[in-house]
């Protein structure tokens, strides 16, 4: 009896917090969401999903590492940082034609968006020229374009926009408070400045984070609240489960509990109801049941293809079987 009463009170209080918090989300309001009884959280997330999207449709992106490894940054999760011994082979920026061949193959396999990632702190002008040619070529194939190249100035953002760039991926990664425990070579404010430059250039923003790096619920709430309270919420929000790579400082991290991961997806869906929430890295290690819960919680985008940037993704054949079992369909497919 007491339990029921306590829950009724806390749900009413929560509604009040949410009402006063929207559209800017406080960390407390997001923390209250993350702590909801699971059925209540899922109901809210599913309602937000259905109000904005067809819940059986999933947006499909393909990822290609166009410049791998040798990165001067010290992101504690990343196999591409030159200071960690991870066995990642560093390579130069790929030739434009080779990238276009990969994009053509991705289109044939059903991709709608082609995302190109480079292990840079920020792009040099000469490299940006080549990336602009890649964007123009990929766009001509009728694919949406996305790149992730590190920090950008306003001028660089404008050049990418002119080349036809649709999305720029730049993650906040975690809460402002936990950030310094993971990365020391650039600040949270640097990341927010890049997101503002991208937004001002008229490019769609793709920004999310990683969970499973030892952060607590308050940090997860801090990440989601910061994303949802940007002047305009990101159009695309990748939620990555840490892929723990040996040799990185976070290589020995315990995997995040699957239900806790689903809770983060649900909180992202509720706080950014009109955004695509991407169930991003970490799917290879996830059960079908956990992924199914993520799709129920409002995830509606994935990376499709056997490889992410340097690590394995869920295989194409496994994804086909999973989509079949769940009755999910590629968006527009
Ligand atoms: N170098 C650019 C940058 O960091 O801005 C772009 C590429 S970087 C690899 C893109 C994102 O991938 C990172 O911000 C991080 O969120 C994600 N990422 C990298 N390594 C990861 C890992 N081991 N597990 C999960 N996500 C990871
Ligand atoms: C994002 O949020 N996740 C992708 C993409 N944006 C660039 C990258 C995941 C990388 C996982 C580790 C790797 O394969 O190197
Ligand atoms: Fe470099 Fe990006 Fe990896 Fe950080 S996440 S080390 S910036 S490639």
213-231 per-position pLDDT tens digit? 999 999 999 999 999 999 9
Q: Compute the average pLDDT of residues 279-306.
A: 97
pLDDT band, residue 20 (cuts 50/70/90): very low
Give residue 333's pLDDT: 58
Give residue 255's pLDDT: 96
Please determine, for residue 9, whether its predicted confidence score (pLDDT) is greater than 80.
Answer: no
Q: What spacing in Å lies between the alpha carbon of 121 and ligand 2's midpoint?
A: 15
| Closest C-alpha to 160, from 141, 138, 190, 193 | 138
Q: What spacing in Å lies between the alpha carbon of 78 and ligand 1's midpoint?
A: 6
The helix/strand/coil state of 295 is helix
Give residue 23's pLDDT: 61
Indicate the average pLDDT of the chain: 93
Give the Cα separation of 207 and 238 in Å (integer): 6
| Closest C-alpha to 61, from 311, 325, 300, 326 | 300
Q: What spacing in Å lies between the alpha carbon of 311 and ligand 3's midpoint?
A: 14
Percent of residues, the chain, with pLDDT higher than 90: 91
Give the Cα separation of 134 and 97 in Å (integer): 8
Pocket test for ligand 1, best of 281, 283, 307, 308 (most atoms within 8 A of CB): 281
Percent of residues, the chain, with pLDDT higher than 70: 93
pLDDT band, residue 24 (cuts 50/70/90): confident
Give residue 319's pLDDT: 96
8 Å CB contact between 207 and 247: no
Q: What spacing in Å lies between the alpha carbon of 121 and ligand 3's midpoint?
A: 7
Which residues have any ligand 3 atom within 6 Å of their CB?
Answer: 71, 73, 75, 78, 80-81, 119, 121, 150
8 Å CB contact between 241 and 261: yes
Please state the atom number of ligand 2 nearest to the C-alpha of residue 80.
Answer: 15
Catalytically active residues, by annotation: 71, 75, 78, 115, 146, 206, 278
At 29-85, the pLDDT tens digits run: 999 999 999 999 999 999 999 999 999 999 999 999 999 999 999 999 999 999 999
8 Å CB contact between 179 and 213: no
Give the Cα separation of 115 and 92 in Å (integer): 18
Of 22-26, 175-179, 191-195, the one with minimum mean pLDDT is 22-26
Give the ligand whose atoms come closest to the C-alpha of residue 116.
2
Nearest CA to ligand 1 atom 9: 119
Q: What is the pTM of this model?
A: 0.94
Q: Which residue has the higher pLDDT, 41 or 21?
A: 41
Please state the atom number of ligand 1 nearest to the C-alpha of residue 208.
Answer: 16
pLDDT band, residue 6 (cuts 50/70/90): very low
Nearest CA to ligand 2 atom 7: 117
């Amino acid at each position: 009896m007491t339990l029921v009463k306590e829950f009724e009170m806390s749900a009413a209080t929560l509604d009040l917090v949410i009402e006063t918090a929207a559209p800017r989300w406080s960390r407390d309001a997001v923390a209250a969401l993350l702590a909801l009884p699971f059925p209540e959280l899922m109901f809210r997330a599913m309602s937000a999903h259905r109000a904005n999207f067809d819940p059986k449709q999933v947006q499909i992106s393909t990822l290609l590492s166009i410049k791998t490894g040798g990165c001067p940054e010290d992101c504690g999760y990343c196999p591409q940082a030159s200071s960690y011994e991870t066995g990642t082979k560093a390579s130069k920026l790929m030739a434009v034609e080779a990238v276009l061949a990969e994009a053509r193959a991705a289109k044939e396999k059903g991709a709608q968006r082609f995302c190109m990632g480079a292990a840079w702190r920020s792009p040099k002008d000469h490299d940006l020229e080549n990336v602009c040619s890649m964007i123009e070529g990929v766009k001509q194939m009728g694919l949406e374009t996305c790149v992730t190249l590190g920090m950008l100035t306003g001028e660089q953002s404008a050049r990418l926009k002119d080349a036809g760039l649709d999305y720029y991926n730049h993650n906040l990664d975690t809460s402002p408070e936990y950030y310094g425990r993971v990365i020391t070579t650039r600040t949270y404010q640097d990341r927010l400045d890049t997101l503002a430059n991208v937004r001002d250039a008229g490019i769609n923003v793709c920004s999310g984070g990683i969970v499973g790096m030892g952060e607590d619920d308050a940090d997860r709430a801090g990440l989601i609240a910061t994303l949802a309270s940007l002047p305009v919420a990101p159009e695309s929000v990748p939620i990555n489960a840490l892929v723990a790579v040996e040799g990185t400082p976070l290589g020995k991290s315990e995997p995040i509990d699957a239900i806790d991961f689903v809770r983060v997806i649900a909180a992202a869906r509720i706080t950014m109801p009109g955004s695509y929430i991407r169930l991003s890295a970490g799917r290879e290690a996830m059960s079908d049941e956990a992924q199914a819960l993520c799709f129920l919680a409002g995830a509606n985008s994935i990376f499709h293809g056997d490889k992410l940037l340097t690590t394995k993704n869920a295989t194409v054949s496994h994804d086909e079987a999973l989509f079949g079992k769940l009755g999910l369909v590629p968006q527009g497919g």
